[in-house]
Amino acid sequence: MKYLLLVLGVVLTFRGYSQRCMVKETMPFFNEARKGVQTSSRDTLPGEVIIVPVVIHVLYNTNDQNIPDQHIIDQINSLNRDFRRKNADTVNTPAPFKSVAADSRIVFCIAKTDPDGKSTTGIIRKYTRVKAFFPDDQMKYSSKGGDDAWDASEYFNIWVCNLFGRTLGYSVMPGGNPALDGVVIQTNVFGNGPYLSAPFNKGRTLTHETGHWLGLKHLWGDSVCGSDGIDDTPPQEGSSTGCPDFPKTSSCSINPYGDMFMDFMDFTDDACMNMFSTGQVREMRSQFAKGGFRNSFLASTVCESSPVEEAPQVPPDGEVDLQMYPNPFATQLIIRGNNFDEVNGKAVRIYNVQGKLVQEITIQSQTTIVNTSQLPSGVYIAIFENANKRKIFKIVKAGYSGNR
């Protein structure tokens, strides 16, 4: 299947010196991708609290970037308060906008079951050699120094990494390539607490990007006096920055209250945004309705605490000096461990894409030649593990091997 990714617009709006976000919008008629999405057989119920399992991919190059669990818990708690309108600063919503401020009845939980049905913390920590990622999705690929997405029909993928320059985060809109589906947040704005620096210290970058992930646009529709397609967010000329005084009006204001600059889909400081509108909530919930891009989440059970089986102790991914070639391979696969002590006596396990173990090799010399003639052509995952580290390879057996 060939994915057609149409990037409609990359928004490079500077606020102060930082970018709140860039949105990679995908066309809503993404039919090919939708066919692959398993849809739940039911619709949302009017008052239903929708539960969205989250997996957090923490990519670190320095120890400081390997943020503690508590920061992650603070951030998800903060996200939930914002989405349930339980944030303490709802009192700051100006009176004229209070009547349209709404509880989305969408909550996020850290996944307890991984894609293989094993118990998980829902937090993946991975060392990367990449000092700073560009907002070009490389952090979403293990092969490029990032970490592959978990099944985007069941998990909301959040990558936390050091982004180059002053980008705070970015998101994709619903309906795109599942391998890229999720949000990316700059490490030093992820969390909610005194360990972050103002003005991006209240976890609102994730709230904002999650709004995009659920189909929301910026209030000004990314053009001068443009539309976000939501009827209860007033038109505004452009983005807001800092912490404006109410009311803030512009040439396109239709009432004396002006801009809804305290909405999470503006670019105001974290301390100055505090609401989603009823129309925005309707839009976000529509993604989960029957036929919506996020409908499959209604059937997701990966946050329930009864996983199929306990996960074995898995060592973290790390740098192992091991190579596997050629790739694609045919009847032979060569495994080479340059540091023999690191690999001697250890196993490489090859799994098919269904997760079934198809071959196990014990390394007994620096170069091991593996006979792979019995494997059907296709994609395989090979995993090396020793006590401290593991390394994962995606390898392909070519369609034709041998005679022409």
Q: Which helix (H) or strand (E) holds 206?
A: helix 204-213
- Least distance (Å) between residue 222 CB and Zn ion: 9
| 237 assigned to active site | no
- Non-local CB neighbours of 163 within 8 Å, separated by 6+ positions: 132, 133, 134, 135, 169, 184, 186
Distance CA 359, CA 336 (A): 17
Q: State the minimum distance, in angstroms, from the CB of residue 23 to Zn ion.
A: 5
What minimum distance in Å lies between the beta carbon of 239 and Zn ion?
9
Q: Which residues fall within 8 angstroms of residue 324, CB to CB, at 6 or more apart?
A: 333, 334, 335, 336, 348, 382, 393, 395
55 versus 172: smaller Cβ distance to Zn ion = 172
Site string for Zn ion, 128-167 (x = CB under 5 A): ----------------------------------------
- Please list every residue from 17 through 56 that binds Zn ion, using CB under 5 A: 21
Stretch that binds Zn ion, among 13-21, 156-164, 293-301, 357-365 (CB under 5 A): 13-21
User: Which is closer to Zn ion, CB of 170 or CB of 293?
Assistant: 170
In the complex with Zn ion, which residue's Cβ is closer, 21 or 324?
21
- 3-class DSSP state of 397: strand
- Measuring CA to CA, which residue among 144, 148, 110, 111 is closest to residue 129? 144
181 or 385: CB nearest Zn ion: 181
List of long-range contacts for 285-289, beta carbons under 8 Å, 24+ apart:
285/44, 285/50, 285/104, 285/105, 285/106, 286/215, 287/174, 287/214, 287/215, 288/44, 288/50, 288/106, 289/43, 289/44
Does residue 302 bind Zn ion (CB under 5 A)? no
14, β-bridge pairs: 19
Looking at the Cβ atoms of 21 and 343, the one nearer to Zn ion is: 21
Residue showing tokens 């490389």: 138
Of residues 154, 209, 237, 385, which has the active-site annotation?
A: 209
State the CB neighbour count (10 A cutoff) for residue 310.
8
Number of residues that bind Zn ion (CB under 5 A): 1
Question: What is the smallest separation between the CB atom of 263 and Zn ion, expressed in angstroms?
Answer: 11
User: Which of these segments, 16-24, 111-119, 307-315, 354-362, binds Zn ion (CB under 5 A)?
Assistant: 16-24
Residue 333 interacts with Zn ion (CB under 5 A): yes or no: no
Query: What positions carry a catalytic annotation?
Result: 209
Q: Which residues bind Zn ion (CB under 5 A)?
A: 21
